Amino acid sequence: MALDWNTHVAQIIGDLEKPNFARSLSDGLKSVVSFDYTVIFGYVGTAKPLALYDDFSPERRDLHVDQYVEGPYLLDPFFLASTGKVKPGLWRLSDIAPDRFYQGEYFRSYYAQTGLAEEIGYLVTIHEQLSIVVSLMRKSKRFSKSELKLLQSAWPVVDASCKRNWAHTANETSQLTPALEEKIELAFQSIGEGILTPREREVVEHTLRGHSADAVGKLLGISSGTVRIHRRNIYSKLRINSQGELFSAFLSSIMNGQS
């Protein structure tokens, strides 16, 4: 395997700053451990993600890329990790997700549709303006500890080559970021605008991201009981009955803000 990986590393180096780089990187990682899909997103602040590479079928690309960049990414643990809350390296999605992620509406209404057994990702900080996530996905069977260890050993190559290949991408897009960031920030704020209080909108944001009442309480410095009261008031004010309807309202706000 080491010889095969070394051959791929040579190809990765040869394809730096060329159109085939991402495919060569994906092929190299698949020579280390088998998996089904690779997708690479670039995150510049909270602006719409840059779809840098994927090897999905057209149907899967619609879900994993086209739909994702229209708003659901704001609730993605890997996107949140890219904002500086998690150090660079290889991560399981389950290790960086909020405590109620798998019971949250983002998972139920969007992520569960992927049918993935597991997603792991290399979080690479290109520089201050740009982070990328190289996601490796499996349709069946989680990555074992030994497989993760092998992929961890590839981290220096992934980190250095991605930094070199996408070094100028952030500079090319950074001037677009403020206006887009403002639209995205307003999307959370616009849910129940004029109806919900600022604290209630904070509860909405953390709830949609997948935090339990206890976790939201710790983040906001209030009791979990107070969080539950806020949630009941939010549902009453918005005339909704479920977190699913709240998620739909969030996506509508995103679409209206980007039109």
| pTM: predicted TM-score of the whole model, two decimal places | 0.76
pLDDT in tens, 126-159: 988 899 999 999 999 999 999 999 999 999 999 9
pLDDT in tens, 19-64: 999 999 999 999 999 999 999 999 987 778 999 999 999 999 999 9
Residue 145 contacts by C-beta under 8 Å, 6 or more apart in sequence? none
Q: Which amino acid is at 142?
A: R
82, exposed or middle or buried, with CB in 10 Å at 0-12, 13-18, 19+? Answer: buried
Question: What pLDDT does residue 136 have?
Answer: 98
